Structure 1
């Protein structure tokens, strides 16, 4: 038998004129006569965590029964129904790390930092901040070393906006980010999708070159067009289709970024949106998710976090079914059924944005499966019923197959006020072959995870 198939490295980058384009996984990256599932080209694992404050509307998110998910999901999770087989809903968890320390008050709105480390942040408004080493960074140390960006931290709300007064003796950093490289090293979350794009695809260029390219309205693809054409001649027809789809997505994102950079529309009243950032929350978060999907596809990064909103935000969501309701004000519903119903519509809208990302991953081929098959996604909050700042019975969901290690289609119900969220974090580390006895407030591992 003669084997003539050529193999190109998985980490191939097409460089030119200050640009570097990572490529999606192609058949040509699999060594000849090698079973795909037995190679590194079968797709690495990815991890994503999304945090949203202010809990969830009671009565709208908990499934009626434990065990297999019903055909119709609770109202909050309905946008995820097409991905039911990849979805696990967790109920009953207790975010004890988000409760005020003994004898203290006012921590409730300053503890997004506890979401991925399950440790109570130190009460300080100075530079001596202290939280915990978050699991996204622990995972990045394990699976992100071979990528251009070991992790990506994103936000869709400007820390400089008027969404929070950072009072009660807590530093603003505790609500501006939930990703920490060490207990004393918070990582800033990038708000501008143009910056995220440049970090992913502008490697090797100077800021001046990138500005000049945008002013010429030149695509990053134009600078490497000859290399793309040359590569197309060397790969199979299916690979050409994958490459064409990928480059079309890159060009489409550039087009949307150009529109955002030139936008002159007015931001929501009282909400500061820096230049170059989409005025619409809907467009902003979808653009961030589309960039992240490309980053996962090209193996530019394998770990990412996204802050959906900051505590105390008064932002409204015109594209939701509660278009005039401020998020924080709406979370204090006073147990009024009509106001709870309105809050549930904001909750569902946020999940709809998550579903946009999930859909991208599910439809993107990645070796012997899809990006969703090879990823593990966490989405949740550190409050349950937000009306009185309750931190038990907090909503969390998991999505994705993580290379067959995660089973979906389930509702896992745990005894209320009994199982800390730290147990979930320890169990998620296990999913990435990182085995620790404890993290934060954990008392063990989650059963049946």
Structure 2
């Protein structure tokens, strides 16, 4: 039976709602930079953990392919052949350079920019353009969202948060310009609305009122279009479509539960504020955001994202890990075995959730590769040892094969060099011209 070919930009539509589709065999070549119908587009993600890590349980002992996963990295063992552990990279401009205390603010604001921030708690903040926004300027027109900036903790955009440094430095990893951070979103419901056409604000007034009155699933509004699509695609694509729509609905239900726990109500009048949708449980909050990132990549809604597990200097406790103390206080462990054991638990938990998301990306196929195969995902921190506040020998992972351009499954050790050299190499693989970024000195070798 002949099946029609589907555009990569096809949407399921109905009553003002719009649902993007995952890659399917029926799709024609997208025609946009960075991919094709058989290989898919390349993507970049940057995931940040605050307060450094326990390096003894992070850094592999052996170099090359025969390294053993240290305890913190063990959750990534099934993905060992999909990653690079990079040792020896630094962000020199996160050091004081005469500005005194403020390592937390500098480490975050410098992490993707490689630029030393101006020490101020006033309006005259200045650092540099971050690598994600360099890519978004070039590639943003190829997707509905040029980039996606997510996190778990809000944080202020002004005031003194770290020894005379503005809260903007401690709260933002992405910078659109040297003076303008790209604020992150922490509310899963708002992210969902953004990914799926802002269902609360699109369509005619009658359509919006109908959706708000019954508070129905977004899938209810596109059901007719989905049924029509099923008749035009093959069995494999129908199964993939059903799995994808089931995942979308499951995320909706989890957000709704978060709404109820947060005092949200159904049956909202048009124009009323959307419920908060922020889970009270940290683990569920992280998982929801990660599942939304998977959907955003899977549907090619964006090719660039950033995520922060917490603001730099975060004092969040982790009682569900039997860690009632604040993260930042524990990071100043002074080699106390009890504090180190709790830091290890926090580090391991972050990695377990990260690994869970990566597995979903690896299971999501697009042509000859997986979404993870086509991605380059950096995981790391702008501080190495939280007790020392050092910014050399940073904990850095690069996960994904970059569309086949990376030789993964290795621990690569470098003589000290700027972390931004890695970012230049990633931009090259995204076909984004960039001669210099922050304190970069060239491209990072030994990646392919």
TM-score (norm 2): 0.90
C-alpha deviations, 1:319-378, integer Å up to 9, x for none?
43x532321011000022332232112111111111111011011111211111111100
Match of residue 91, structure 1, among 80, 87, 94: 87
Partner secondary structure for residue 419 of structure 1: strand
Partner secondary structure for residue 390 of structure 2: coil
C-alpha deviations, 1:33-77, integer Å up to 9, x for none?
xxxx9944531111110111211113111101111143x400111
- State the alpha-carbon separation in 2 of the partners of residues 370 and 325 from structure 1: 40
- Matches for 1:118-157 after TM superposition, within 5 Å: 118-157=114-153
- For 1:50, the equivalent position in structure 2 comes to 47
- For 1:105, the equivalent position in structure 2 comes to 100
- State the alpha-carbon separation in 2 of the partners of residues 222 and 346 from structure 1: 40
Partner secondary structure for residue 68 of structure 1: coil
- For 2:315, the equivalent position in structure 1 comes to 314
CA 1:275 to 1:8, structure 2 compared with 1: closer, same or farther past 3 Å?
closer
Residue 174 of structure 2 corresponds to residue 179 of structure 1: yes
Using the TM superposition, name which of 250-259 and 367-376 deviates more. 367-376
- State the alpha-carbon separation in 1 of the partners of residues 342 and 36 from structure 2: 49
Match of residue 259, structure 2, among 261, 265, 288: 261
Match of residue 73, structure 1, among 58, 64, 69: 69
Shift of 1:213: 3.3
- For 2:267, the equivalent position in structure 1 comes to none
Confirm or deny: 8 A CA contact 1:45 1:143 kept in the other structure.
no
C-alpha deviations, 1:251-290, integer Å up to 9, x for none?
000000100001059xxxxxxxx94200111100110110
CA 1:319 to 1:406, structure 2 compared with 1: closer, same or farther past 3 Å?
farther
Confirm or deny: 8 A CA contact 2:84 2:397 kept in the other structure.
yes
- State the alpha-carbon separation in 2 of the partners of residues 302 and 26 from structure 1: 17
CA 1:260 to 1:325, structure 2 compared with 1: closer, same or farther past 3 Å?
same
- State the alpha-carbon separation in 2 of the partners of residues 330 and 135 from structure 1: 30
- State the alpha-carbon separation in 2 of the partners of residues 77 and 38 from structure 1: 31
Confirm or deny: 8 A CA contact 2:3 2:233 kept in the other structure.
no
- For 1:277, the equivalent position in structure 2 comes to 278
Residue 227 of structure 2 corresponds to residue 229 of structure 1: yes
Shift of 1:308: 0.8
- State the alpha-carbon separation in 2 of the partners of residues 353 and 216 from structure 1: 34
Partner secondary structure for residue 91 of structure 1: strand
Confirm or deny: 8 A CA contact 1:314 1:329 kept in the other structure.
yes
- State the alpha-carbon separation in 1 of the partners of residues 330 and 306 from structure 2: 25
- State the alpha-carbon separation in 1 of the partners of residues 306 and 213 from structure 2: 30
- For 2:268, the equivalent position in structure 1 comes to none
Shift of 1:133: 1.0
- For 2:196, the equivalent position in structure 1 comes to 201
Partner secondary structure for residue 113 of structure 1: helix
Q: Which ranges in structure 2 are unaligned for 5 or more consecutive residues?
A: 264-274
- For 1:271, the equivalent position in structure 2 comes to none
- State the alpha-carbon separation in 2 of the partners of residues 314 and 419 from structure 1: 30
Q: Which ranges in structure 1 are unaligned for 5 or more consecutive residues?
A: 32-36, 266-273
Confirm or deny: 8 A CA contact 1:88 1:412 kept in the other structure.
yes
Partner secondary structure for residue 67 of structure 1: coil
Confirm or deny: 8 A CA contact 1:261 1:277 kept in the other structure.
yes
Shift of 1:425: 1.9
Residue 398 of structure 2 corresponds to residue 403 of structure 1: no
Shift of 1:204: 6.9
- State the alpha-carbon separation in 1 of the partners of residues 213 and 50 from structure 2: 38
- For 1:64, the equivalent position in structure 2 comes to 61
- State the alpha-carbon separation in 2 of the partners of residues 340 and 424 from structure 1: 30
C-alpha deviations, 1:358-414, integer Å up to 9, x for none?
011011111211111111100100111110211111100000011101121111112
CA 1:366 to 1:120, structure 2 compared with 1: closer, same or farther past 3 Å?
same
Residue 6 of structure 2 corresponds to residue 11 of structure 1: no
Confirm or deny: 8 A CA contact 1:57 1:341 kept in the other structure.
no
- For 2:355, the equivalent position in structure 1 comes to 355
TM superposition outliers: structure 1 runs of 4+ over 6 Å: 207-212
CA 1:438 to 1:233, structure 2 compared with 1: closer, same or farther past 3 Å?
same
Partner secondary structure for residue 402 of structure 2: coil
Partner secondary structure for residue 6 of structure 1: coil
Shift of 1:117: 1.0
